[in-house]
Amino acid sequence: MQHLYQMKARCSMLHRLIGEPKTKAEREAGKITDTAKSAVREIAKFDLFGWQQFEGNKFTEKGLMLENEAIKLSGLKRGLPLKKNSERRENDWITGECDIYVPTRKLIIDTKCSFDIGTHPFFADEAEEKAKKAGYDIQMQGYMWLWDCEEAQIDFVLFPTPEELLGYGQSAERYIDLVEQIPQHQRITTVTIKRDEQIIEKIQERVKVAKAYYDELIKQMVS
């Protein structure tokens, strides 16, 4: 019996799916990496049971609290009146909801809110390394595919951390006062990602293989 579940990979997890097995035999056999398996299991558990693996923390909470301020700063930097995108798009393989879509420029902008001075990438090479390590570069390829854009920009922004998010031993001087002393234009670092058709083709290929594993998992529960 054909089940009704269909896997759609979120753009934010594509970096976990895109890796290939080390051996040629595994690749030819349609195998996926352990990292990809873990990601697919998370998708399956959510689809089957509504279980969300990651519920957030103080770092993501700060990003949500200051999202509108981050978008304003992104707009100020570019001289554009930007607003939050609320549209989720999908195709046969992936699904995603970018932060900002600028149709007149065919541009995606995504804001990433740093928690403190130590974790904020002030320098260009630091920001590029952070984007790659976190998989944001692959996430942007997914967004560019869905919105048919040629370029995406990641804005790493730093704002004072709201006092209610500070834990025991975290002083206002360190997380608020020191940040406020830094000029605002120095608290935003942008990484530009160009559309790469080879990466998009690889996303399509690896998600297709991951779907086969997803189907195996679903069949175990619904057959």
80 and 135 both lie in a single domain: yes
139 and 216 both lie in a single domain: no
Which range marks the domain in which residue 213 is found? 9-53+200-222
162 and 114 both lie in a single domain: yes
95 and 163 both lie in a single domain: yes
pLDDT tens digits for the chain (223 residues)? Answer: 455 788 999 999 999 999 988 877 777 677 899 999 999 999 999 999 998 877 678 888 999 999 999 999 999 999 999 999 999 999 999 999 999 999 999 999 999 999 999 999 999 999 999 999 999 999 999 999 999 999 999 999 999 999 988 888 888 998 999 999 999 999 999 999 999 999 999 999 999 999 999 999 999 988 6
Sheet with 107-114: strands ordered across? 100-102, 107-114, 151-158, 188-194
14 and 63 both lie in a single domain: no
147 and 49 both lie in a single domain: no
Task: Tell me how many domains the chain contains.
Answer: 2
In a domain, 136, yes or no: yes
pTM above 0.85, yes or no: yes
Structure tokens at 122: 């002030």
151 and 86 both lie in a single domain: yes
CA distances 67 to 46, 101, 143, 153, Å, are: 26, 15, 18, 16
212 and 195 both lie in a single domain: no
